[in-house]
């Protein structure tokens, strides 16, 4: 798959922290969206960090007008792994409006707690949080459990395309290569949806891809003191090969 990018904010960050966020204008953001939509066939949309409420509102209008039937995967990025808070209260409320256009929302535990108003400490609580987030309008919700404790990480998928709920469990990796896992997962789900996979299959394949990209034997040591990056091209270099 090939990703077409529209930027709403630019961050200054390294492996340890985010030090600054510069927000682009609403008009500049919309111009990027219009440019790619006017020239390319778009089969799926993935939404990550948004600069502020005006960007969320612009995106809601754009998706309804230009891409009404295209599945949108919304990753509600609110805080970085290093603790930088990206969205204030007004921005979170605007993001909730965007969730009404989402085919799938992919909050981590912190984001699911903030969106649902519930504390999550077990599977039953994750399901209840997903039900509350579904009430905001997305067709489906994937509550990611990577930040929970335990020997395995469990994600819960619930919604129209998984009416009974589906749990995805994978053993934890003993690795520092975790920078970008959430962004990568939601992008991989969108890619598989674009290829025509049903949602549960798209999530399952995306999780398998991310799990392999975190393999410590494929460590990309860039010299930073924080979490290392995923190896997104592990398949290209050969499955199971030590890089």
> Is residue 19 flagged as an active site residue?
no
Look at residue 121 in the predicted model and tell me its pLDDT: 87
Catalytic site residue from 96, 137, 146, 183: 183
Structure tokens at 189: 């789900």
> Is residue 182 flagged as an active site residue?
yes
Strand-strand pairing, 140-143 and 104-105:
parallel
Mean pLDDT to the nearest integer, 96-105: 94
Look at residue 242 in the predicted model and tell me its pLDDT: 46
The distance from CA 50 to its chain's CA centroid, rounded to whole angstroms, is: 12
Between 5 and 1, name the one with better pLDDT: 5
Catalytic site residue from 46, 182, 207, 228: 182
User: Right CATH number for 20-237 from 1.10.3720.10, 3.40.50.1820, 3.30.70.100, 3.40.1190.20?
Assistant: 3.40.1190.20
Res 243 pLDDT > 60: no
> Is residue 178 flagged as an active site residue?
yes
> Is residue 46 flagged as an active site residue?
no
Mean pLDDT to the nearest integer, 166-176: 87
Structure tokens at 66: 């230009």
> Is residue 183 flagged as an active site residue?
yes
Per DSSP, 22 falls in state E
Catalytic site residue from 46, 145, 181, 207: 181
Catalytic site residue from 46, 51, 52, 144: 144
| Domain boundaries, given as residue ranges, for the chain | 20-237
Question: Sorting pLDDT into bands at 50, 70 and 90, what band is 216?
Answer: confident
Look at residue 8 in the predicted model and tell me its pLDDT: 94
Place of tokens 């460590």: 219
What radius of gyration do the chain's Cα atoms show? 17
Count CB atoms within 10 A of the CB of residue 239: 8
What confidence tens digit (pLDDT) does each residue in 69-90 have?
Answer: 999 999 998 876 666 677 777 8
The span from the CA of 23 to the CA of 59, in Å, is: 15
Between 95 and 141, name the one with better pLDDT: 141
The span from the CA of 148 to the CA of 183, in Å, is: 18
What confidence tens digit (pLDDT) does each residue in 115-168 have?
Answer: 999 999 888 999 999 999 999 999 999 999 876 666 777 999 999 999 989 999
Mean pLDDT for the chain? 89
Res 192 pLDDT > 50: yes
Contacts of 9 (CB under 8 A, 6+ apart): 21, 22, 23, 24, 49, 50, 51, 52, 55, 86
**Extended beta strands in 38-193, E state:** 45-47, 72-74, 104-105, 140-143, 152-159, 162-171
> Is residue 3 flagged as an active site residue?
no
Measuring CA to CA, which residue among 39, 80, 77, 32 is closest to residue 58? Answer: 32
Res 217 pLDDT > 80: no
Look at residue 234 in the predicted model and tell me its pLDDT: 87
Catalytic site residue from 51, 145, 178, 184: 178
- Render the burial of 113-122: b for 16+ CB within 10 Å, e for the rest: bbbbebebee
């Amino acid at each position: 798959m090939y990703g077409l990018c529209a930027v709403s904010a630019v961050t200054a960050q390294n492996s340890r922290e985010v030090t600054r966020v510069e927000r682009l204008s609403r008009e500049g953001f919309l111009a990027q969206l219009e440019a790619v939509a006017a020239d390319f066939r778009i089969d799926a949309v993935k939404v990550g960090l948004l600069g502020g409420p005006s960007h969320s509102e612009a995106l809601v209008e754009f998706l309804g007008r230009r891409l009404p039937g295209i599945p949108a995967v919304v990753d509600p990025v609110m805080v970085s792994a290093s603790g930088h808070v990206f969205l204030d209260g007004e921005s979170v409320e605007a993001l909730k409006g965007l969730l009404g256009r989402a085919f799938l929302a992919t909050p981590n535990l912190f984001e699911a707690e903030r969106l649902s108003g519930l504390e999550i400490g077990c599977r039953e609580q994750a399901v209840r949080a997903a039900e509350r987030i579904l009430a905001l309008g997305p067709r489906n919700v994937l509550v990611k459990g990577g930040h929970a404790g335990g020997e395995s990480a469990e994600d819960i998928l619930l919604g129209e395309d998984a009416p009974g709920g589906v749990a995805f469990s994978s053993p934890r990796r003993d690795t520092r290569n975790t920078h970008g896992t959430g962004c990568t997962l939601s992008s991989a789900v969108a890619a598989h949806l674009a290829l025509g996979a049903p949602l549960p299959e798209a999530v399952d394949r995306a999780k398998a891809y991310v799990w392999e990209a975190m393999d410590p034997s494929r460590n990309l040591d860039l010299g930073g003191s924080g979490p290392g990056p995923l190896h997104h091209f592990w398949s290209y270099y050969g499955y199971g090969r030590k890089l």
